[in-house]
Amino acid sequence: MQLGEIYRWLVQKGKEADVRTEEELDLLAEERKEKFRKSKDKGLILSEDQDWDNPYGDTKILYGSEERYVSRALVGIDVDGSEFLLADKERQRCEPIDLIITHHPQGRAQIQLFQVMKVQEEMLYEAGVPINVAEALMSQRINEVQRALLPANHQKNVDLARILDIPFLAVHSPADNQVQKYLTNYLIKENKEHDEKQKIKDIIEMLLDLPEYRQAAQYGMVPQVIAGNPQNRTGKLYIKMNGGTAGPEKSIDELAKAGIGTIICMHLPEAQRKRAAELHLRVIVAGHMASDSLGMNLLMDGLEKKGVEIIPCGGFIRHRRETPQ
């Protein structure tokens, strides 16, 4: 496959798993396009990549021409200089790596991470939080994350890609959308045993039946109950696996008001954990690397089916499913 084909396919798979409709995503793109066209802000004009078909600012080709062909890709949850040196070593052994894929965004994709957080408004709304409240909470949190990203050395590994001439791609939200959809179906929609009296320990056992979580447990990372205890009943479940990063602290209060009983997430800040415990919300941390790996696997299975060899690294727990999504 050509690099551009891979990129566009990944974006499309993200759209297909998004909680928002294609029309809603198109409207967001049109609003962004219109803002750019009317703007006289020099900074905005210089920084906008005008990639209107991609609603995920955290998913980008960071280096490399779209016309370059890819047959082998090194894929990690986190990628740094060591992965680039490994790829260069493989090239010296005449086993070239044609592409490095990172899940956690870098370069432009890291700078633009805050842009993808608006999906959390829809997630909170579907959980029962009024949309005006969800928008107000997320606006404040999005600004906070945008400021937090300002000091980072965004281009460090992109420079390595350029110097070594190894194409580099970040795919974040499309993978997180995949795991969000998968676990929602698995734990709620297709779970015949699920009702609000199901126990937390039963949910953890279901997670451990999935290969990524089972492998992570063998490494020592077992899904953790960080608020409540395994014998508690779950109440209504809220699954939070996408949206860029952690949501606003006050969302815990709003989820409790909306009747949520248990939050299932990749990770949660300590202040939010304490607030959840105070409000008798249960919280299951499923595991960061295992959850990210599940989402990436659902995408990489499809790329392998298209002829791209996937070499896992950087915390990526690779598992192939019989039926790629």
Same domain, 102 and 230: no
Same domain, 11 and 149: yes
Domain that holds residue 266: 180-288
pLDDT tens per residue, range 225-265: 999 999 999 999 999 999 988 888 999 999 999 999 999 99
Alpha-carbon distance of 171 to 60, in angstroms, equals 7
- List 312's β-bridge partners, or say none: 75
227 is a domain residue: yes
The tens place of each residue's pLDDT in the chain, 325 residues long, gives 999 999 999 999 999 999 999 999 999 889 888 988 898 899 888 888 888 899 999 999 999 999 999 999 999 999 999 999 999 999 888 888 999 999 999 999 999 999 899 999 999 999 999 999 999 999 999 999 999 999 999 999 999 999 999 999 999 999 999 999 999 999 998 877 777 789 999 999 999 999 999 999 999 999 999 999 999 999 999 999 999 888 889 999 999 999 999 999 999 999 999 999 999 999 999 999 999 999 999 999 999 999 999 999 999 999 999 754 4
Strand pairing class (282-285; 260-265): parallel
Same domain, 245 and 309: no
Same domain, 16 and 110: yes
Same domain, 14 and 133: yes
320 is a domain residue: no
Alpha-carbon distance of 8 to 110, in angstroms, equals 19
Give the closest residue to 161 by CA, choosing from 103, 110, 99, 113.
99
Residue 202 sits in a domain whose CATH number is: 3.40.1390.30
Same domain, 37 and 123: yes
Residue linked to tokens 């281009």:
155
Which amino acid is it at 244? G
Same domain, 272 and 301: no
Which DSSP string corresponds to 27-52? HHHHHHHHHHHH---HHHHHH----T
- Which bin fits 185, alpha (ψ -120 to 50), beta or left (φ > 0)? alpha
Q: Write down how long the chain is.
A: 325
258 is a domain residue: yes
Structural domain total, the chain: 2
